[in-house]
């Protein structure tokens, strides 16, 4: 078989293996690439030679995604994935020309990240205490630590005892691209964590559950908590039985960033704490804080009120 006859399926499988073995991408990132490239295979056919694919073929795939009501963000993610895929194919001489270079991304509506006010954060963090729906001490510790550190949900569920310093003031997490960074926990988070760990030990001893997990956050059977488990916990406390104001776990990360910048933290420090590879990702939070400052100024300055 000539290189020009290699099928789309064969090269997609090889590309995904390359992402895992050579690039070292996380399983979630690889799954995202796999899902996006599956659209290409579905529309064009798995046996289609990669060298025969044109920009018009890719635009056809985009049209199909649009017909199926995919959001502009999802479509742009698809375009990004195929650009990376065809760049790989060209790099290793499977194709002569990269057709994705002729395809442009679509316009997206700009949505500011959802974040909580300090009052909303306090209410959520105290909700497990006033309304024990699942596991009071664990859930409070989870909320406090997410807000204190700005960790992603995948990072918080991966924490083990070995990641922490002796006083539980900080720990090292492994973020996207397998990059390590240090995050910190303030007093409320540390107290909540210590209370949870003590309660966990007593609870499992009383119920005869073997507590041999190295992971910090576990479910009531002693198994490591998953990202899906964290989303479920949030859904319970922010749903009708809780504060009745649906909030995703990721909103705590947005709130951390907004709070830090609003209180004078340097944007590059916040970038490091969040583990962002690009400062532009962090800078979107400065727009939120600027709007907040303008609002405070208008309410507080006597002459500003005259402009309204």
Which entry of 138, 163, 253, 254 is annotated as an active-site residue? 253
Which entry of 138, 276, 287, 297 is annotated as an active-site residue? 276
- Cα separation, 71 vs 186, in Å, equals 38
Whether 59 is catalytic is no
Which entry of 41, 176, 203, 231 is annotated as an active-site residue? 176
- Cα separation, 157 vs 264, in Å, equals 29
Which entry of 152, 163, 200, 254 is annotated as an active-site residue? 152
Distances (CA, A) of 48 to 37, 40, 41, 297: 13, 10, 8, 60
Whether 250 is catalytic is yes
The region, left, alpha or beta by phi > 0 then psi within -120 to 50, assigned to residue 53 is beta
**Burial class of residue 105, CB neighbours in 10 A (0-12, 13-18, 19+):** middle
Whether 253 is catalytic is yes
Which entry of 181, 236, 250, 292 is annotated as an active-site residue? 250
- Cα separation, 89 vs 51, in Å, equals 9
Query: And the tokens for 74?
Result: 């999802």
Provide the annotated active-site residues. 152, 176, 250, 253, 276, 285
């Amino acid at each position: 078989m000539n290189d020009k006859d290699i099928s789309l399926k064969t090269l997609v499988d090889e590309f995904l293996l390359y992402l895992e073995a050579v690039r070292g991408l996380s399983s979630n990132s690889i799954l995202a690439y796999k899902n996006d490239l599956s659209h290409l295979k579905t529309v064009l056919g798995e046996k289609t030679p990669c060298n025969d694919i044109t920009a018009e073929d890719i635009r056809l795939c985009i049209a199909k995604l649009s017909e199926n009501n995919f959001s502009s963000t999802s479509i742009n993610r698809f375009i990004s994935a195929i650009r990376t895929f065809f760049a790989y194919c060209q790099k290793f001489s499977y194709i002569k020309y990269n057709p994705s270079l002729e395809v442009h991304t679509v316009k997206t509506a700009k949505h500011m990240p959802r974040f909580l006010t300090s009052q909303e954060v306090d209410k959520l963090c105290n909700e497990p205490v006033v309304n024990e729906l699942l596991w009071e001490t664990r859930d409070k510790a989870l909320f406090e630590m997410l807000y204190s550190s700005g960790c992603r949900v995948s990072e918080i569920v991966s924490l083990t005892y070995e990641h922490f310093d002796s006083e539980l003031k900080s720990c090292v997490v492994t973020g996207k691209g397998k990059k390590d960074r240090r995050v910190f926990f303030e007093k409320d988070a540390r107290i909540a964590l210590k209370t949870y760990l003590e309660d966990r030990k007593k609870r499992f001893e009383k119920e005869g559950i073997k507590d041999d997990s190295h992971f910090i956050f576990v479910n009531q059977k002693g198994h490591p908590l998953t990202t899906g488990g964290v989303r479920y916990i949030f859904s319970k406390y922010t749903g009708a039985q809780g504060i009745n104001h649906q909030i995703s776990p990721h909103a705590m990360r947005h709130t951390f960033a907004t709070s830090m910048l609003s209180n004078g933290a340097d944007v590059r420090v916040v970038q490091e704490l969040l583990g962002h590879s690009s400062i532009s990702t962090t800078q979107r939070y400065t727009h939120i804080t600027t709007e907040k400052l303008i609002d405070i100024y208008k309410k507080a300055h006597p002459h500003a009120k005259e402009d309204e």
